[in-house]
Amino acid sequence: MIKVGIVGGTGYTGVELLRLLAQHPHVELSAITSRSEAGAPVATMFPSLRGRVGLKFDDPREVELRTCDIVFFATPNGIAMEQAGTLLDAGVRVIDLAADFRIKDPGVWEQWYGMRHASPELIAGAVYGLPEVNREQIKSARLVANPGCYPTAVQLGFLPLVESGLVDTSNLIADAKSGVSGAGRKAEVHTLFAEASDNFKAYGVPGHRHLPEIRQGLSIAAGKSVCLTFVPHLTPMVRGIHATLYARVSRETDFQALYEERYSREPFVDILPFASHPDTRSVRAGNMCRIALHRPQAGDTLVILSVIDNLVKGAAGQAVQNMNIMFGLDECAGLTQIPVLP
Amino acid sequence: MIKVGIVGGTGYTGVELLRLLAQHPHVELSAITSRSEAGAPVATMFPSLRGRVGLKFDDPREVELRTCDIVFFATPNGIAMEQAGTLLDAGVRVIDLAADFRIKDPGVWEQWYGMRHASPELIAGAVYGLPEVNREQIKSARLVANPGCYPTAVQLGFLPLVESGLVDTSNLIADAKSGVSGAGRKAEVHTLFAEASDNFKAYGVPGHRHLPEIRQGLSIAAGKSVCLTFVPHLTPMVRGIHATLYARVSRETDFQALYEERYSREPFVDILPFASHPDTRSVRAGNMCRIALHRPQAGDTLVILSVIDNLVKGAAGQAVQNMNIMFGLDECAGLTQIPVLP
Amino acid sequence: MIKVGIVGGTGYTGVELLRLLAQHPHVELSAITSRSEAGAPVATMFPSLRGRVGLKFDDPREVELRTCDIVFFATPNGIAMEQAGTLLDAGVRVIDLAADFRIKDPGVWEQWYGMRHASPELIAGAVYGLPEVNREQIKSARLVANPGCYPTAVQLGFLPLVESGLVDTSNLIADAKSGVSGAGRKAEVHTLFAEASDNFKAYGVPGHRHLPEIRQGLSIAAGKSVCLTFVPHLTPMVRGIHATLYARVSRETDFQALYEERYSREPFVDILPFASHPDTRSVRAGNMCRIALHRPQAGDTLVILSVIDNLVKGAAGQAVQNMNIMFGLDECAGLTQIPVLP
Amino acid sequence: MIKVGIVGGTGYTGVELLRLLAQHPHVELSAITSRSEAGAPVATMFPSLRGRVGLKFDDPREVELRTCDIVFFATPNGIAMEQAGTLLDAGVRVIDLAADFRIKDPGVWEQWYGMRHASPELIAGAVYGLPEVNREQIKSARLVANPGCYPTAVQLGFLPLVESGLVDTSNLIADAKSGVSGAGRKAEVHTLFAEASDNFKAYGVPGHRHLPEIRQGLSIAAGKSVCLTFVPHLTPMVRGIHATLYARVSRETDFQALYEERYSREPFVDILPFASHPDTRSVRAGNMCRIALHRPQAGDTLVILSVIDNLVKGAAGQAVQNMNIMFGLDECAGLTQIPVLP
């Protein structure tokens, strides 16, 4: 059994990690920390875990995480970069579900995240945990930067196109819609039910923090710098991301076949029949990305629809997938839940 | 492996059965019928099942269900009573998720359901499938009448009180709230999103079909006829039932201890600490009933809060639980999913 | 034109007051204060008011409200009791939309609201602003305590019964369901979209602050102390309260006629045909209370369904109605909006 | 007073017309027809209208609409083209809220709407009722084709750009999101609450009927054929359209000033400050279109955000606006409701 620790388990990625790991056949939940909730049973805060998770929240200053085999950081940005080093030195593997190690250029990171990076020396060794791109490096990674939710949906949707050089990478558009759980479990006015329900809006259009992450990933895949317009929207649903992607064809091929082949051995990417319309609930609570291709009016514009559950394939599920790869387990272990529909 | 057939798999209880049974360790899905969808892959209608359920819908006139070990009827009321007899004669066990065999008195049934009962001779032998009451009879049952969703939440909430004779059974009140999936997957105006969203209303106050079912169960438990006012409400959520129950204390005891003891060996009933407020999402997609007791202002009125997922403990999950009992399996087999929160 | 000031206009009752008053034919919006937003245009915070409300938020320490004809307090509990006295002394009339002057017994108020009352000497002169009960006193009131949302729906539903002495007032039950806007526009975790959406729960069952207010009103109407069990629930909708009320008949009459007569001259109470099911959207954004009576199975229990929009008849609309009465205007002035359906 | 008739008042555009017209200072509601509901009071079907609309539904074969001054068709596609001619011949003015007269080329119409046009001779004389484009023609129109909901939001968002020739009209993208009321009040599975709630999906990507309508309008504005990719999405909210528009700049100007000037005299188009994020609730139940411009990362791609209430500015409200123009009334008469927020 793999001994697992979680730092910061009171948010949505934390409780989702607990849901998945408590059902994982090869995992022993060892400790979960929370400064504010220290001493309280986890199942008191999250009654869905009653009878399934017996842990209490530990005070982060008192618990010894260095005896874990792996530690997940389900913390706000800026925590893992302070604490990962000590754990890594002790031989513990680390997966950060926040953004601290996602951007390779510390200057870019600091510009978008508005703080000084505490461990720039760890960035180079961190592996960006998108298994569909970096599976080999993840196997031997000590530190994995788990991708953001939007970046997962958008990159998986664009990858076959930009890798193959068949579209104009100077003019990619990602119009993405996220459920409100993507904003986390922080008390804020704009994500109150009475603000976000029966309402729809874009946000962060001038520049969202996931933009440089997506641009970095797609540029690596393209072998050159790509230009992306990224517009996220807040959608009145709890879970789910729907990315609607637009690309201009620069060279013809059988795009459906391209996608099917690219992901033919991927357990968590599902290419739907051409011209399908995936809905977010078809992946709700499951670690799946479903993708469909369209070519409206047989024109030059490809439309790619890509859906994930932002808390699973977009966060906790992908983290467990990365853990499975790192420890040589079946990549699907603990991730076989069928999506909940309706 | 138990060979399972499903009659009528295009509704919400059908797809929920598929979700649970496809993950069940001892089940082989053998056939699923639908008149309207015959020939179509199940996963085309329900993309959440892509890659997990390979079946096509069978024409009910062409498939041989008599080779199954058990057949679930996830059909509208009035179908199972026509078809169960033949299957039972062939040695197939049957669980009806509709109401055909729930009411012991055929006259009462015909009055509330507005049709003639086609197999009144089967009613006596049918076991009402509430394991917390009838576990022993279910073990040897050939035909199980799976309880309704409201009846499950309301009976589990009232049972300890009426069994023990500590409350006034001439004046029970059940104010119940259901998610819209309880109305099924039928095209009807009043359950359209634009009708049911951002809206709340009672319905069926003069008399809902679940009233006689609840009254029957509580009267058996009380050993005498009980009087119940039952008011169901349509709630703008997909899944979940919240029953708020009111009873007047006629004799004092430690009610919290009474409930804890009554359900101490029940795997799917969870008594919360006194004066808790269970929310429906704490059981979303899980086969659990969570119950909390209150005694406001230390008066004579007990308030019991009882929550279930109407599609799981209120339908498909309870049906699987009954199957497990009938076949001598671990009662929790295939039902260990942790509720999905948020 | 009546010069109106609003103290504390950044919450939902504040913006709803603005919506109604900006369309009121006899009102001139004079000032609106907010400590935190001083200097900002109101329409920046609430874009729905763009082009319709030109005011900026004033610093409460700098604005002179004593030149207003009337001041509304749309503040948290505990503010109006500090500031109303000065305004009243200056001849300004005051309507408090919070709870400071609703409870006649300062001891009871202090017990439920957990603070010392700053102006107990004003309580006796304050008129409880439920026009259907106190219209005459409101006409000459200097200080009106605007009722709470639950108290409005519950009292209007019970009043004909308790006034007439036809039911057992030792055993009234109010099972009430509120939209999330009732919790206000405060950043709190439990009212986040991802917490409150697709979810249903009771809260405050041991004792909600609206209980003593309802009990006080019904006891006055009954001419004796009534006993009420009050269970509020949080419902995944923005606006609306649905109160489901239960009372035991102690003496027979034509209850439908009783209700129709009691409210025959009330412009904002609508008695539906017997055995109707009012939905909350039928009053959404309108200042109406719709009520329907049921007598299930012709038994001893009456079920009364009462719906309001918590922000209109349950708050801002009722406040405007009170203002109209206080200033001798048409009681419906500015309140003729037809509810928004769907 | 203008005598108004409504054909087909049982859908959402019908009830919305009633809400607006019942509050209109210069309108007398004369008749409303429904084949299925003939004889029933309108307020029984729509309780929000109780006390405000006293009409009953008339049998369309029995009512004489030729005495009306104007008749609105709130019917499915294909009805107005059958009946408008008779009314026009009798001197009645007609506004069709369906699509029968929106497309100038009958061949294109027949291709997209899948039926033969019954009155192609009326098409040429019909005026496309987008007041911001055709105000002068509307003044003298006998027959107005009221624009679709998506076409209103998308055209108003793109118009200043395509009229001025500053963007590449061979590559326009409209990513549009609609509330579920846009699908109408028809009993269909895909718009059931349990299907559409907590879910998000694109639909009609290969070709939606509003595409030729938008393309026609923008091509007229551009003075040449434009190429548009149009992707509509179903959003879990009742009302509202959010159009996210993408255009490539081909010539520089002050785009914010361009928009502000273009719409400076329009009462129902509101240009927000540069880089704002309008939300759909800021126009909920109001006849307003709010638009904001963005230029992410100062690149070549303009992003325009355009929101309307699909039932008001996208249907009934715009129809009333057209009526006001046709009869020489204040264009805002009956349309001054402030949007309902929250």
What does the alpha-carbon distance between residue A97 and residue C236 come to, in Å, rounded to a whole number?
30
What does the alpha-carbon distance between residue B96 and residue B323 come to, in Å, rounded to a whole number?
11
Looking at the complex, report in whole angstroms how far the Cα of residue C54 sits from the nearest Cα belonging to chain B: 30
Residue of B nearest to A269 (CA): B51
Q: Which of residues 214-273 of B touch D (CB under 8 A)?
A: 236-238
Question: B336 and A48 in contact by Cβ < 8 A?
Answer: no
For residues D187 and B190, is the Cβ–Cβ distance under 8 A?
A: no
Decide if A55 is inside a domain: yes
**Taking the model in full, what pTM does it have?**
0.98
Nearest to D206 among A194, A238, A294 (CB): A294
**Which residues are CB-contacts of B116 (< 8 A; sequence separation ≥ 6)?**
B110
Instruction: Give B281's contacts in chain C (Cβ within 8 Å).
Output: 198-199
Decide if C132 is inside a domain: no
What does the alpha-carbon distance between residue B193 and residue B189 come to, in Å, rounded to a whole number?
9
ipTM above 0.95, yes or no: yes
What does the alpha-carbon distance between residue B300 and residue B305 come to, in Å, rounded to a whole number?
16
Question: Which two structure tokens, joined as six digits, stand for B86?
Answer: 């033949």
Nearest to C229 among B278, B284, B301 (CB): B301
Secondary structure element (H or E) that encloses residue D93, with its range:
strand D93-96
Residues B168 and B108 in one domain: no
What does the alpha-carbon distance between residue A28 and residue B279 come to, in Å, rounded to a whole number?
28
Specify which residues D5 forms β-bridges with.
D31, D71
Instruction: Give D183's contacts in chain B (Cβ within 8 Å).
Output: 194
Task: Give the residue among D109, D171, D108, D202 at the shortest CA–CA distance from D302.
Answer: D171
Task: Give the residue among C179, C184, C175, C197 at the shortest CA–CA distance from C240.
Answer: C179
For residues C220 and B259, is the Cβ–Cβ distance under 8 A?
A: no
Residues D21 and D101 in one domain: yes
Residues B101 and B240 in one domain: no
Nearest to A231 among D233, D303, D307 (CB): D303
What's the domain count of chain A?
2
Give the tens place of pLDDT for each residue, B31-71: 999 989 999 999 999 999 999 999 999 999 999 999 999 99
CB-side neighbour CA atoms (13 Å) of C199: 27
Per-residue pLDDT of chain A (342 residues; tens, 9 = 90+): 999 999 998 999 999 999 999 999 999 999 999 989 999 999 999 999 999 999 999 999 999 999 999 999 999 999 999 999 999 999 999 999 999 999 999 999 999 999 999 999 999 999 999 999 999 999 999 999 999 999 999 999 999 999 999 999 999 999 999 999 999 999 999 999 999 999 999 999 999 999 999 999 999 999 999 999 999 999 999 999 999 999 999 999 999 999 999 999 999 999 999 999 999 999 999 999 999 999 999 999 999 999 999 999 999 999 999 999 999 999 999 999 999 999
Looking at the complex, report in whole angstroms how far the Cα of residue B232 sits from the nearest Cα belonging to chain C: 10
Decide if C221 is inside a domain: yes
Question: Which two structure tokens, joined as six digits, stand for C179?
Answer: 């939209």
Q: Which of C68, C149, C289, C332 is catalytic?
A: C149
Specify which residues C33 forms β-bridges with.
C7, C58
Q: Which of D68, D149, D227, D289 is catalytic?
A: D149
For residues D7 and D176, is the Cβ–Cβ distance under 8 A?
A: no
Instruction: Give D272's contacts in chain C (Cβ within 8 Å).
Output: 47, 50
CA dist D95 → C36, D42, D143, D151 (Å): 48, 21, 6, 17
Give the CATH number for residue B13: 3.40.50.720
For residues D171 and D177, is the Cβ–Cβ distance under 8 A?
A: no
Specify which residues A278 forms β-bridges with.
none
Buried b vs exposed e over C243-280: b needs ≥16 C-beta within 10 Å? bbbbbbbeeeeebbebbbebbeeebbbbbbebebbbbb
Looking at the complex, report in whole angstroms how far the Cα of residue A184 sits from the nearest Cα belonging to chain D: 17
D197–chain A Cβ distance below 8 A for any pair: yes
Instruction: Give B277's contacts in chain C (Cβ within 8 Å).
Output: 201-203, 205
Query: What pLDDT sits at residue D293?
Result: 98
Q: Which of C60, C92, C125 is the last residue of a domain?
A: C125
Question: Which two structure tokens, joined as six digits, stand for A141?
Answer: 């990674």
For residues B100 and B143, is the Cβ–Cβ distance under 8 A?
A: no
Question: D279 and C23 in contact by Cβ < 8 A?
Answer: no
Q: Which of B125, B159, B193 is the last residue of a domain?
A: B125
Q: Which of A277, A291, A341 to mutate to test the interface with B (most CBs of B within 10 A)?
A: A341
In the complex, which subunits touch A with 3 or more CB pairs below 8 angstroms? B, C, D
Containing domain of residue B256, as a range? 149-310
What does the alpha-carbon distance between residue C119 and residue C189 come to, in Å, rounded to a whole number?
33
Check the CA dihedral D101-D107-D110-D113 and report its sign: negative
Question: A193 and C238 in contact by Cβ < 8 A?
Answer: yes
Question: A191 and C195 in contact by Cβ < 8 A?
Answer: no
Number of Cβ within a 10 Å radius of residue A186: 12
Q: Note if C149 is an active site residue.
A: yes
Secondary structure element (H or E) that encloses residue D202, with its range:
strand D201-202
Q: Which of B149, B227, B289, B332 is catalytic?
A: B149
Question: D229 and A342 in contact by Cβ < 8 A?
Answer: no
Query: What pLDDT sits at residue A39?
Result: 95
Question: C206 and B294 in contact by Cβ < 8 A?
Answer: yes
Residues D62 and D173 in one domain: no
Residues D195 and D305 in one domain: yes
Residue of C nearest to A190 (CA): C187
Residues B224 and B305 in one domain: yes
DSSP state of B191: G
- Split at pLDDT 50, 70, 90, the class of D265 is very high
The per-residue DSSP string of A54-84 comes to -PBEEPTTT--GGGSSEEEE-S-TTSHHHHH
Question: Which two structure tokens, joined as six digits, stand for B127?
Answer: 């076991």
Residues C121 and C176 in one domain: no
Decide if B325 is inside a domain: no
Decide if B19 is inside a domain: yes
Residues B161 and B303 in one domain: yes
Residues B41 and B110 in one domain: yes
For residues A229 and D301, is the Cβ–Cβ distance under 8 A?
A: yes
- Split at pLDDT 50, 70, 90, the class of C64 is very high
**Which residues are CB-contacts of C191 (< 8 A; sequence separation ≥ 6)?**
A192, A193, A194, C180, C183, C234
Question: Which two structure tokens, joined as six digits, stand for B293?
Answer: 């007791």
Instruction: Give D194's contacts in chain B (Cβ within 8 Å).
Output: 12, 179-181, 183, 185, 191, 238
Give the tens place of pLDDT for each residue, B208-245: 999 999 999 999 999 999 999 999 999 999 999 999 99
What does the alpha-carbon distance between residue D249 and residue D316 come to, in Å, rounded to a whole number?
34
Q: State mean pLDDT over C34-53.
A: 95
D305–chain A Cβ distance below 8 A for any pair: yes
B336–chain A Cβ distance below 8 A for any pair: yes
A296–chain D Cβ distance below 8 A for any pair: yes
Question: D284 and A198 in contact by Cβ < 8 A?
Answer: yes
**Which residues are CB-contacts of D66 (< 8 A; sequence separation ≥ 6)?**
D86, D87, D90, D91, D92
Decide if C328 is inside a domain: no
Q: Which of D44, D50, D312 to mutate to test the interface with C (most CBs of C within 10 A)?
A: D50
Nearest to A238 among C189, C194, C238 (CB): C194
Residues D269 and D172 in one domain: yes
Give the CATH number for residue C269: 3.30.360.10
Buried b vs exposed e over D232-247: b needs ≥16 C-beta within 10 Å? bbbbbbbbbbbbbbbb
Instruction: Give D198's contacts in chain C (Cβ within 8 Å).
Output: 197-198
For residues B283 and B339, is the Cβ–Cβ distance under 8 A?
A: yes
Decide if A240 is inside a domain: yes
Question: Which two structure tokens, joined as six digits, stand for B175?
Answer: 């104010």
Residues C106 and C158 in one domain: no
Nearest to B296 among C194, C205, C237 (CB): C205
Question: Which two structure tokens, joined as six digits, stand for B310?
Answer: 């109407």
Nearest to A194 among C185, C189, C194 (CB): C185
Question: C48 and D198 in contact by Cβ < 8 A?
Answer: no
B45–chain A Cβ distance below 8 A for any pair: no
Edge-to-edge strands of the sheet including D70-73? D57-58, D27-33, D2-7, D70-73, D93-96, D143-145, D127-128
Give the tens place of pLDDT for each residue, D183-228: 999 999 999 999 999 999 999 999 999 999 999 999 999 999 999 9
What does the alpha-carbon distance between residue A80 and residue A98 come to, in Å, rounded to a whole number?
8
Provide block-wise average pLDDT over 10 residues at a time, chain B (342 residues). Answer: 96 97 97 94 97 95 95 97 97 98 98 97 98 98 98 98 97 98 96 98 98 98 98 98 98 98 98 98 98 97 98 98 98 98 97
Check the CA dihedral B139-B142-B148-B149 and report its sign: positive
Looking only at the bridges linking them, the beta strands covering D301-308 and D241-248 are antiparallel
Whether residue A342 is preceded by a cis peptide bond, meaning omega within 30 degrees of 0, is: yes
Instruction: Give C314's contacts in chain B (Cβ within 8 Å).
Output: none
Q: At what angle do helices D131-139 and D149-164 cross, to 10 degrees?
A: 100
Specify which residues A271 forms β-bridges with.
A291
Decide if A132 is inside a domain: no
What does the alpha-carbon distance between residue D335 and residue A246 come to, in Å, rounded to a whole number?
38
Residues C120 and C165 in one domain: no
Check the CA dihedral C164-C166-C169-C175 and report its sign: negative
Q: Which of B125, B140, B173 is the last residue of a domain?
A: B125
Looking at the complex, report in whole angstroms how far the Cα of residue D213 sits from the nearest Cα belonging to chain C: 26
